Amino acid sequence: MLEEILKQTEERMNKALSFLQEEFKTIRAGKVTPAVLEKITVNYFGSLLPINQLATISTPEPRVLVIQPWDQSILKEIEKAILKANLGVTPQVDRGIIRLVFPPLTEERRKEFVKAAKKMAEDCRVELRNHRREANESIKELKDQGKISEDDRDRYLEKVQKLLDKYIELVDLALEKKESSIMEV
């Protein structure tokens, strides 16, 4: 019962951390990655599909993305979706491919990205604390129902706190790593 609560809490905290790491991929650092296009969907015969399901995306240079659609008829739709996403670049369509040339990041833009990363990390910390609160409530409820002793309650409340501390530390490390990659010129 108590181990199950602990296990579920750790799974939820792990999912929150994984989500944060995926979100960090959408923030551009020095080198542009195909992850900046992950949230962009394209209307393909009435269905909204991510670009990576409609084309090959490559990075021939650190600041350039090349999108090569498998179906050439979708080229204009991909271009429209990129413009609508407001990435700060204008797609260049040339012989069946779309080239996105990202400008070098200014110091101000880097600081904006760091600020966004910090907000994402704080949102993750809040979610982790919510998972701790839910676990603590479940443990206290078991004690109130007389299913566990006070010692068990205290021991498991401490285990949940240690779990939270571990994940907060992982969030801080991920943020530190992302910050340094953003500020790297």
pLDDT in tens, 97-119: 999 988 887 888 888 889 989 99
Confidence of residue 184 (pLDDT cuts 50, 70, 90): confident
Which one of 1.20.120.1630, 1.10.3720.10, 1.25.50.10, 1.10.132.20 gives the CATH number of domain 2-26+106-183?
Answer: 1.10.132.20
Task: Give residue-wise pLDDT tens across range 130-158.
Answer: 999 999 999 999 999 989 999 999 999 99
Mention the CATH class of domain 34-101. Answer: alpha beta
Q: What percent of the chain is predicted at pLDDT more than 70?
A: 98
Average pLDDT, rounded, for the chain: 89
Question: What pLDDT does 73 receive?
Answer: 87
Question: What pLDDT does 185 receive?
Answer: 59
> Which has more pLDDT, 149 or 25?
149
Enumerate the β-bridge partners of residue 101.
64
